[in-house]
Amino acid sequence: MDLHYTADVATDDERAAVDGLLGPARNGVSGAAARRQRHLLLPVLHALADRIGWISAGALNYVSRRLDVAPAEAYGVATFYALFSTTPRPPRVLHVCDDIACIDAGAQALCSALASTFGPAGESGPDAAATWLRTPCLGLCDRAPAALLATAGAQHAMVQLAPVDAEDLARAMTGTSNGAGAVPRIGGSELRLLRRVGKVDPESIDAYRAHDGYSALREAFELGPGRIIAEITASKLLGRGGAAFPTGRKMDAVARAPERPHYLICNADESEPGTFKDRILMEYDPYAIVEAMTIAAYAVGCERGFIYIRGEYPLAAHRIGHAVAQARRHGFLGNDIMSRGFRFDIEVRRGAGAYICGEETALFNSIEGKRGEPRSKPPFPVQAGLFGKPTQINNVETLANIPLILLEGGAAYARIGTPDSTGTRLFCLSGAIAHPGLYEVPHGTTLGALIEMAGGVRGQERLQAILLGGAAGAFVPPGALTMPLTFEDARAAGATLGSGVVMLFSERVDLPAILRRIAQFFRDESCGQCVPCRVGTVRQEEALHRLASDGTSAGRKGDVLLLDEIGRAMRDASICGLGQTAANVIDSARKNLDLFTSEAQQ
Partner 1 sequence: MIRGPIPQAPAQPPKAQVEITIDGTAARIPEGSTILDACKSLGVETPTLCFLQSLTPVNACRVCVVELEGSRVLVPACARRVEPGMVIHTDSERVRHSRKMVLEFLASSVDLSTAPDAQRFCERYGADPARYAESDGSAATVEQPVKIDNQLYVRDYSKCILCYKCVEACGVDAQNTFAIAVAGRGFEAHISTEYDVPLPDSACVYCGNCIGVCPTGALMFSSEHELRARGQWNEAEQTATETICSYCGVGCTLTLHVQDNSIVKVTSPIENDVTSGHLCVKGRFGFSYVQNRPDDV
Q: Which residues bind partner 1 (CB under 8 A)?
A: 1, 3-4, 6, 57, 60-61, 70-76, 79-80, 82, 86, 354, 371, 376, 523-532, 534-539, 542, 545-546, 549, 551-552, 555, 558-559, 562, 565-566, 568-569, 571-575, 580
Q: Identify the residue among 228, 578, 585, 589 touching ligand FMN (CB under 6 A).
A: 578
The distance of closest approach from Cβ of residue 482 to ligand SF4 in the complex, given in angstroms and rounded to an integer, is 35
109 is in the binding site of which of ligand FMN, ligand SF4, partner 1, none (Cβ under 5 to 8 A by kind)? none
Residues near ligand FES (CB under 6 A): 97, 99-102, 137-138, 140-141, 144, 146, 273
Build a one-symbol-per-residue string for 352-381: x at contacts with ligand FMN by CB under 6 A, - elsewhere.
---xx-xxx---------------------
Q: Judged by CB, which is closer to ligand FMN: 65, or 240?
A: 240
Give the binding range for ligand FMN (CB under 6 A) out of 45-53, 166-174, 204-212, 389-397: 389-397
Nearer residue to partner 1 within complex by CB, 455 or 577: 577
State yes or no: residue 398 binds ligand FMN (CB under 6 A): yes
Binding letters toward ligand SF4, positions 571-590, x by CB under 6 A: ---xxx-xx-----------
Choose between 248 and 273: whose C-beta lies nearer to ligand FES: 273
- Reply yes or no: is the peptide bond before residue 258 cis, omega within 30 of 0: no
Looking at the chain, the number of H-run helices and the number of E-run strands are 26, 15
| Closer of 94 and 354 to ligand FMN (Cβ) | 354
For the bound state, the minimum distance from the C-beta of residue 596 to partner 1, rounded and expressed in Å, comes to: 16
Q: Which of 184, 213, 351, 374 binds ligand SF4 (CB under 6 A)?
A: 374
Residues 237-296 that bind ligand FMN (CB under 6 A): 239-243, 245, 267, 269-271
* 99 contact, one of ligand FES, ligand SF4, partner 1, none, CB 5-8 Å limit per kind: ligand FES
* Calpha distance 110→145 (Å, rounded): 9
Q: Which does 374 bind (CB under 5 to 8 A by kind): ligand SF4, partner 1, ligand FES, none?
A: ligand SF4
Calpha distance 237→245 (Å, rounded): 8
Q: Determine, following the binding rule CB under 6 A, whether residue 558 of this chain makes contact with ligand FMN.
A: no
467 binds, among partner 1, ligand FES, ligand SF4, none (CB under 5 to 8 A by kind): none
568 touches which of ligand SF4, ligand FMN, partner 1, none (CB within 5 to 8 A by kind)? partner 1
DSSP state, residue 183: P
| 393 interacts with ligand FMN by CB under 6 A | yes
Can you tell me the distance from the alpha carbon of 286 to that of 306, in angstroms, rounded to the nearest whole number?
A: 14
**Which CB sits closer to partner 1, 28 or 76?**
76
Angstrom distance (rounded) from CA 48 to CA 60: 9
Q: How far apart are CA 72 and CA 309, in angstroms?
A: 26
Which residues 347-366 are close enough to bind ligand SF4 by CB under 6 A?
356
Closest separation between CB of residue 542 and partner 1, Å?
Answer: 5
Question: Between residues 202 and 311, which has the closer beta carbon with respect to partner 1?
Answer: 311
- Beta pairing, strands 437-442 & 92-97: unpaired
Partner touching 394 among ligand SF4, ligand FMN, ligand FES, none, CB below 5 to 8 Å by kind = ligand FMN
Reduce the DSSP state of residue 406 to 3 states and report it. Answer: helix
**Least distance (Å) from ligand FES to the CB of residue 166?**
16
Residue 412 vs 573, nearer CB to ligand SF4: 573
Cα four-point dihedral sign 210, 215, 217, 218: positive
The beta strand positions in 356-423, using DSSP E, are 391-395
In angstroms, what CA-CA distances link 67 with 28, 45, 357, 367, 527? 10, 12, 22, 14, 24
Minimum separation from the CB atom of position 529 to ligand SF4 (A): 4
Cβ neighbours, 10 Å, residue 513: 14
Residues shown for the chain: 602
**Whose Cβ is closer to ligand FMN: residue 39's or residue 310's?**
310
CB of 144 to ligand FES, least distance (A): 5
Using CB atoms within 10 A of its CB, is residue 24 exposed (0-12), middle (13-18) or buried (19+)? Answer: exposed
What is the spatial distance between Cα 439 and Cα 190, in angstroms, rounded to a whole number? 9
Instruction: Pick the binder of ligand FMN from 235, 395, 418, 526 (CB under 6 A).
Output: 395
Pairing of strands 302-309, 342-350: parallel
Alpha-carbon distances of 431 from 143, 217, 269, 347, 503, rounded to whole Å:
10, 38, 22, 35, 5
Closest CA to 469 of 220, 221, 275, 303: 275
Angle, helix 553-573 to helix 584-593, in steps of 10 degrees: 130
3-state helix, strand and coil shares in percent for the chain, rounded to the nearest 5: 45, 15, 35
Q: Which residues of 63-75 are buried (b: 16+ CB within 10 A; e: fewer)?
A: bbbbbbbebebbb
E strands, 446-567, are: 463-468, 474-476, 501-506
In angstroms, rounded to a whole number, what is the distance separating the alpha carbons of residues 322 and 15?
27
Which of ligand FES, ligand SF4, partner 1, none binds 144 (CB below 5-8 Å, type-dependent)?
ligand FES
- Could you tell me how many residues of this chain bind ligand FMN (CB under 6 A)? 22
Rounded Cα gap, residues 285 and 225, in angstroms: 25
Binding residues (CB under 6 A) for ligand FMN: these are 239-243, 245, 267, 269-271, 355-356, 358-360, 393-395, 398, 576-578
Binding residues (CB under 6 A) for ligand SF4: these are 356, 374, 526-530, 533-534, 574-576, 578-579
